[in-house]
Chains A and B, each alone.
Chain A
């Protein structure tokens, strides 16, 4: 099956506030997709729904054909925007933690990447800098051989050199059998890496287009289009 993520009239309401409004979406494997939109656009809500952290009000969301649950979590690798790892654990213990719970986790790869970035695996997470903690979390997420990677602001608080490393890792990890969904504000830095972009605003999908289509048809970059569409 080539469709890895599907939303059918996905709606989420909090009281009178509608975070997602009848969203319809179908993403194929083998793509790197950018999820773009201003704060409050529904990006976070969509990400939470696909990860089973939030139950939809109505409609459906399917990951690899599964409703969010144990099976979908097995094939979805999630990188949250915040640090979700237990602070007290050592880096090495965290690698084994992921290895314990995820059958698709590639332990050797994780250790290699940690070595590349010169991260001391014997240190406790709480003794590492914020940037390093984020890198550890990213490495753990990318070390899984998942069908869908959901990366929420992966290059946010990271220095340019590490940013390059992260983008190269995403490209290196690329597989025709998987899709990578990147939610970010930093469009300029990842434009060349994207196949497709989704523009979300006020809970609605304003745009779902192949990146080169945008460049060909409108003669502008995704970044420029974003500024145009989301003008304040």
Chain B
């Protein structure tokens, strides 16, 4: 059943995101073309147009993806469509999971799309010389990071978990706010924003606390120029931050699940 929910969620969101992907493709190709053609005034004009379109599509894809996902969640579950969705023989948890997974897939797709677009734009202009420069830069960065305590393993771990947690986390936060907001009939949207503010405050408070707890040690170490130590402190701070975020997201997931199971209040 989850697979089926996913199929329809994916289709619904694709209706809005595919056109944006299309715009990205066209503006990428257009910009690329105008970059390769011999210079003249006409080419310059078209290039400007395509560049503007390119920037717009980047913004659209970046910000738009999350907005579209949120709107889909709201429309599919909290408006009249909710009367269909919640009478399907699936658990509310399945609905929630489907939206989260769908959102993660689409976020991944947008990243891939942006990556491919950049690749296309820079194609043919990155020869061996440029690659060597980039590689050297990359290697030196790695060396610095190793020096302050970030092993390859740790880096890989952070590289995967942070974005993933971020994607799922930003979704579940908003989904939680929407579900909690609908407890207040008549003030559903305002309620959602209130809860969002609440989560934001909680996040900020915890950040400050963590910073304070780690800060003393951080100050000591920088003063004594113990850079390996600094790396560890920063690393610890990052881990603590990550753990707290994960904990928060898990809590929000279960609270949202509870709200959908017991406190559903469609208009």
Binding site for B on A (CB under 8 A): 48, 51-55, 69-71, 73-74, 76, 78, 80, 82-86, 88, 97, 100-102
Asked whether A86 and B81 contact (CB < 8 A) given A53-B266, A54-B264, A55-B263, the answer is: yes
Binding site for A on B (CB under 8 A): 1, 4, 7-8, 12, 15, 76, 80-84, 86-91, 262-266
**A86 CA to B82 CA, complexed, in Å:** 10
Let me know if A51 and B87 touch, CB within 8 A.
yes
Let me know if B263 and A84 touch, CB within 8 A.
no
User: Taking the nearest CB of chain A, how far is it from the CB of B4, in angstroms?
Assistant: 5
Which residue on A lies nearest to B267, using beta carbons? A82
- Chain A residues with CB under 8 A of B4: 100-101
Let me know if B87 and A52 touch, CB within 8 A.
yes
**A44 CA to B88 CA, complexed, in Å:** 19
Let me know if B80 and A70 touch, CB within 8 A.
no
- Chain B residues with CB under 8 A of A53: 82-83, 86-87, 264, 266
Let me know if A52 and B86 touch, CB within 8 A.
yes
Which residue on A lies nearest to B76, using beta carbons? A86
Selected contact of A82 from candidates B83, B91, B264, CB within 8 Å:
B83
Let me know if B89 and A84 touch, CB within 8 A.
no
Asked whether A101 and B1 contact (CB < 8 A) given A84-B81, A88-B12, A88-B15, the answer is: yes
- Chain A residues with CB under 8 A of B265: 54
Let me know if B91 and A84 touch, CB within 8 A.
no
Asked whether A83 and B80 contact (CB < 8 A) given A53-B86, A53-B264, A54-B264, the answer is: yes
Let me know if B84 and A85 touch, CB within 8 A.
yes
**A97 CA to B9 CA, complexed, in Å:** 12
**A132 CA to B7 CA, complexed, in Å:** 27
Let me know if A78 and B87 touch, CB within 8 A.
yes
Which residue on A lies nearest to B265, using beta carbons? A54
Let me know if A74 and B89 touch, CB within 8 A.
yes
- Chain A residues with CB under 8 A of B7: 100
Which residue on B lies nearest to A152, using beta carbons? B83
- Chain B residues with CB under 8 A of A97: 8
**A17 CA to B83 CA, complexed, in Å:** 23
Let me know if B84 and A80 touch, CB within 8 A.
yes
Which residue on B lies nearest to A94, using beta carbons? B84
- Chain B residues with CB under 8 A of A74: 89
User: Taking the nearest CB of chain A, how far is it from the CB of B92, in angstroms?
Assistant: 9
User: Taking the nearest CB of chain A, how far is it from the CB of B163, in angstroms?
Assistant: 30
Let me know if A80 and B83 touch, CB within 8 A.
yes
With A51-B86, A80-B83, A86-B81 given, name 16 new contacts (CB 8 A).
A53-B83, A53-B264, A54-B265, A70-B89, A70-B90, A71-B89, A73-B87, A73-B88, A83-B80, A84-B80, A84-B82, A84-B84, A86-B12, A88-B15, A100-B4, A101-B90
- Chain B residues with CB under 8 A of A48: 266
**A52 CA to B92 CA, complexed, in Å:** 11
Let me know if B12 and A101 touch, CB within 8 A.
no
Let me know if A101 and B264 touch, CB within 8 A.
no
Let me know if B89 and A73 touch, CB within 8 A.
yes
